[in-house]
């Protein structure tokens, strides 16, 4: 069993470069299915979810050449299947991203119900309701979703009940090959959607308004391969910024490789908590705060406070001078991290979708279990400031979204290492 062991109390300094965005790279890889030929993606993160998506694409006939650690060449010329392998897509939520491209290329798709972190309801109904408006019919059996556009995809007006990122992306990828114009109202506005639209337009699509609540797509008959660079990962950047707020030395740490405007609300909340930072070229320099002020946070769709940063900022709230409330509006199971932080000495009470947090003087190292991707990374960050040693298990969650996480922290000065210990279940 692999664990991450952290010795608290070591100051951080220097510069860390974040990898390409996980939530963008996976959708860009899926979008290559819309064309026939070789598409090159650069700045792709070397993480477990990318490896799984690569296997999904290979399973339906794509060929992938790894040019270097962060560059993939994806050849979709031989793709002749619209069925994604169950054993792969069931591993992650992003599996649904192949549905739109397969429908756009073949008019059919068969995928497993999505897997990934156990964060609650998947809202797959938003994907289905939106695609039905474009002429797709659905049926489900034995854990599979069967989608067919028998008469072809036809542009239409789609109003989403909730600005779902996945549903918006699937609709855009299907609509670029539909006949006529599609208008998505109440679309998600995340930077990763803008990145997807940018690549699609480079491929010959006509997508307007990405990054706003109204996206208009004029369908085209054909797309062509391109070379595209994945944007920097704002959530990885935010994770390192929280680490810096906790343990940076006097000079601070510099987090680079991302667009600071993509973390606008996170930076605003950090500022309200007493954290000092300044924007620099392609990133942010942040200093350790002498004390944290309490602040109330609600997770909301972009540009609101991202649910993927909730666990990390909860660490700061746990050490603040007073009481804070974090309200989770996106995933109902996102507070599983809180019980592990309590094991480290935090004072947190969960009331429905609210976490009521009373600041304590310090945290203590403990044996904790990563409950999901972001919660696992947050526990490692909490270990940086905790007294003594923290051991984080179930770190396969972290591997899904953070590239060389312990190595990057160690390069900043953290006493952190990945090690293998006997599995207690196996004795």
Residue 117 annotated to the active site:
yes
| Burial state string for 279-314 with b = 16 or more CB within 10 A and e = fewer than 16 | eeeebbbbbbbeebbbbebbbebbeebbbbbbbbbb
3-state helix, strand, coil in the chain (%, to 5): 35, 30, 40
- The position carrying tokens 């992938």 is 64
Candidates 36, 117, 206, 280; catalytic one = 117
Residues with Cβ within 8 Å of residue 68, at least 6 apart in sequence: none
Contact in structure between 31 and 177 (CB atoms under 8 Å): no
Q: Cβ of 426: how many Cβ atoms within 10 Å?
A: 6
Determine whether the annotation assigns residue 118 to a binding site.
Answer: no
Determine whether the annotation assigns residue 22 to a binding site.
Answer: yes
Determine whether the annotation assigns residue 68 to a binding site.
Answer: no
CA-to-CA distance for 213 and 181, rounded, in angstroms?
A: 16
Residues with Cβ within 8 Å of residue 110, at least 6 apart in sequence: 82, 83, 84, 144, 145, 146, 147
CA nearest 4: which of 389, 311, 400? Answer: 389
Q: Beta-strand (E) ranges in 164-247? A: 181-185, 206-208, 214-218, 227-229
Edge-to-edge order in the sheet of strand 367-369: 367-369, 389-393, 2-7, 415-420
* Phi, psi dihedral angles at 246 (to 5 degrees): -85, -40
Contact in structure between 176 and 104 (CB atoms under 8 Å): yes
| Burial state string for 340-356 with b = 16 or more CB within 10 A and e = fewer than 16 | bbbbbbbebebeebebe
**How far, CA to CA in Å, does 64 sit from each of 23, 38, 352, 381?**
19, 9, 45, 34
Determine whether the annotation assigns residue 124 to a binding site.
Answer: no
What would the two tokens of residue 160 be?
A: 């989403």
Determine whether the annotation assigns residue 23 to a binding site.
Answer: yes
Q: How many residues does the chain have?
A: 427
* Phi, psi dihedral angles at 265 (to 5 degrees): -70, -35
CA-to-CA distance for 417 and 406, rounded, in angstroms?
A: 6
Please give the annotated binding residues for UDP-N-acetyl-alpha-D-glucosamine, written as ranges.
Answer: 93, 308, 330
- Residues acting as catalytic residues: 117
Please give the annotated binding residues for phosphoenolpyruvate, written as ranges.
Answer: 22-23
């Amino acid at each position: 069993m692999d664990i991450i062991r952290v010795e608290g109390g070591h100051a951080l300094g220097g510069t860390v470069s974040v990898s390409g965005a996980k939530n963008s790279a996976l959708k860009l890889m899926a979008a290559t299915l819309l064309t026939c030929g070789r598409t090159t993606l650069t700045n792709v993160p070397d993480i477990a979810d990318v490896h799984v998506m690569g296997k999904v694409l290979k399973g339906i006939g794509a060929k992938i050449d790894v040019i270097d650690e962060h560059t993939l060449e994806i050849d979709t010329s031989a793709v002749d299947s619209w069925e994604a392998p169950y054993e792969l897509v069931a591993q992650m939520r992003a599996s649904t991203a192949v549905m739109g491209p397969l429908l756009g290329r073949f008019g059919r798709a068969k995928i497993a119900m999505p897997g990934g972190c156990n964060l609650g309801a998947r809202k797959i109904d938003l994907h289905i309701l939106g695609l039905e408006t474009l002429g797709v019919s659905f049926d489900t059996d034995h854990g599979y979703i069967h989608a067919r556009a028998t008469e072809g995809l036809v542009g239409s007006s789609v109003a989403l009940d909730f600005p779902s990122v996945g549903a918006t992306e699937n609709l855009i990828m299907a609509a670029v090959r539909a006949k006529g114009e599609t208008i998505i109202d109440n679309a998600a506005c995340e930077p990763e959607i803008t990145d997807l639209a940018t690549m699609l337009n480079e491929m010959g699509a006509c997508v307007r308004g990405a990054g706003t609540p109204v996206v208009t797509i004029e369908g085209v008959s054909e797309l062509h391969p391109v070379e595209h660079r994945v944007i920097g990962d704002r959530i990885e950047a935010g994770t390192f910024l929280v680490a810096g707020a906790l343990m940076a030395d006097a000079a601070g740490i510099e987090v680079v490789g991302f667009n600071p405007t993509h973390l606008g609300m996170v930076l605003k909340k950090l500022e309200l908590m007493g954290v000092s930072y300044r924007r620099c070229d392609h990133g942010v320099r942040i200093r350790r705060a002498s004390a944290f002020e309490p602040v109330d946070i609600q997770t909301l769709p972009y540009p609101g406070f991202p649910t993927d940063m909730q666990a990390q900022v909860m660490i700061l709230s746990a050490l603040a001078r007073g009481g804070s409330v974090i309200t989770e509006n996106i995933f109902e199971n996102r507070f599983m991290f809180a019980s592990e932080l309590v094991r480290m000495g935090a004072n947190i009470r969960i009331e429905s979708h609210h976490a009521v947090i009373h600041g304590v003087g310090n945290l203590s190292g403990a044996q904790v279990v990563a409950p999901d991707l972001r919660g696992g990374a947050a526990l490692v960050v909490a270990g940086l400031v905790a007294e003594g040693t923290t051991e984080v298990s179930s770190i396969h969650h972290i591997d899904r979204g953070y590239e060389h996480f312990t190595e990057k922290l160690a390069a900043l000065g953290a006493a952190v290492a990945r090690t293998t210990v006997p599995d207690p279940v196996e004795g």
